[in-house]
Structure 1
Amino acid sequence: MNQQRLMQVLLAPQISEKATFVADKNEQVIFRVASDATKPEIKAAVELLFKVEVESVQVANVKGKQKRFGRAMGARKNWKKAYVSLKPGQEINFVDGGAA
Structure 2
Amino acid sequence: MRAEQVIIAPVLTEKTNSLREGEAKKYVFKVDPRANKVDVISAISEVFKVTVKCCNIINVKAKAKSVASKSGHRRGTGAGKSWKKAIVTIKAGDKIDIFEGA
Whether these two folds match at TM > 0.5 is: yes
CA shift at 1:9, angstroms? Answer: 0.4
CA shift at 1:30, angstroms? Answer: 0.4
Please tell me the residue identity of whatever aligns with 1:8. Q
Matched, 1:92 2:96: yes
Q: Any gaps of 5 or more consecutive residues in structure 1?
A: none
Q: 1:33 aligns with which of 15, 25, 31?
A: 31
Distance 1:7 1:38 in 2: 14
> Over the residues paired in the alignment, what is the CA RMSD in angstroms?
1.1
Distance 1:56 1:80 in 2: 16
| TM value normalised by structure 2 | 0.85
1:45 corresponds to which residue?
Answer: 43
1:13 corresponds to which residue?
Answer: 10
Aligned length: 93
The structure with more radius of gyration: 2
CA shift at 1:83, angstroms? Answer: 0.5
Give % identity. 35
The runs of 4+ residues in structure 1 deviating greater than 3 Å are none
Distance 2:41 2:67 in 1: 38
Distance 1:34 1:41 in 2: 10
Matched, 1:83 2:90: no
Q: Any gaps of 5 or more consecutive residues in structure 2?
A: 69-74
SS at match of 1:90: coil
Matched, 1:72 2:69: no
